Amino acid sequence: MRRRFVPALAAAAALAGVLAGTSPAAAVPADKPQVLGNWTRTSAASYQAWAAARQNRDDWAAYAFDWSTDYCTSSPDNPFGFPFRNACARHDFGYRNYRRADAYQAHKPRLDEAFHADLRRVCARYAGAKKVSCEGTAWTYYQAVRGLGISSDGQTPHS
């Protein structure tokens, strides 16, 4: 219930800021870093909160989050039938929004860990050889973002 109140309050504050003549950046809610942090943790609850917000993006418009995604970039979104697409979307969300906040380097390790946790939760649905295959694929995706998530020029090829 609180989640629905916060965006409405934030939207009202943003409108008040615009009417008062302040810049749009000043109208962004002060708790944006906290909300971003809550949506990019390794827990299942963090993933679920992000997924619910993603379904109701208009409720969070005042926060000016970047929801864009290319999913798993040039890797398959559903390798061997394992549905990794949403984990990739949340990973993009973290990378893109922390980059906009000039806080990417400080948060990258956690974002990559959260990505791996999301992939492992996908794999937990399976058993036997299929689970082992999924976990191996998840590990490969995780290692790829850890190693390729930042290039020498400071840009992320992944997002």
Pairwise CA distance, residues 95 & 101, whole Å: 10
The CATH code of the domain that includes 127 is 1.20.90.10
Q: Are residues 48 and 124 in the same domain?
A: no
Boundary-marking domain end, from 14, 39, 65: 65
pLDDT at 92: 98
Q: Are residues 60 and 80 in the same domain?
A: no
Q: Are residues 89 and 158 in the same domain?
A: yes
Pairwise CA distance, residues 140 & 112, whole Å: 12
Boundary-marking domain end, from 65, 89, 120: 65
Decide: 89 and 69 in contact? Cβ < 8 Å. yes
Which pair of tokens denotes residue 33? 């870093």
Q: Are residues 12 and 48 in the same domain?
A: yes
Q: Are residues 5 and 58 in the same domain?
A: yes
Q: Are residues 31 and 103 in the same domain?
A: no
Decide: 11 and 85 in contact? Cβ < 8 Å. no
pTM above 0.75, yes or no: yes
Q: Is the pLDDT of residue 147 over 50?
A: yes
pLDDT at 109: 97
The whole domain housing 32 covers: 1-65
Boundary-marking domain end, from 65, 84, 119: 65
Q: Are residues 111 and 43 in the same domain?
A: no
Q: How many helices (H) and strands (E) does the chain have?
A: 6, 0
Decide: 129 and 80 in contact? Cβ < 8 Å. no
- Angle subtended by helix axes 44-55 and 2-19, to nearest 10: 50
pLDDT band with cut points at 50, 70 and 90 for residue 22: very low
Q: Tell me: the pLDDT tens digits for 43-100?
A: 999 999 999 999 999 999 999 999 999 999 999 999 999 999 999 999 999 999 999 9
Q: Is the pLDDT of residue 6 over 60?
A: no
Q: What's the structural domain count of the chain? A: 2
Q: Are residues 137 and 156 in the same domain?
A: yes
pLDDT at 158: 45
Q: Tell me: the pLDDT tens digits for 109-139?
A: 999 999 999 999 999 999 999 999 999 999 9
pLDDT band with cut points at 50, 70 and 90 for residue 27: confident
Q: Are residues 78 and 61 in the same domain?
A: no
Could you list the active site residues? 91
Q: Are residues 80 and 104 in the same domain?
A: yes
Return the higher-pLDDT residue of 135 and 14.
135
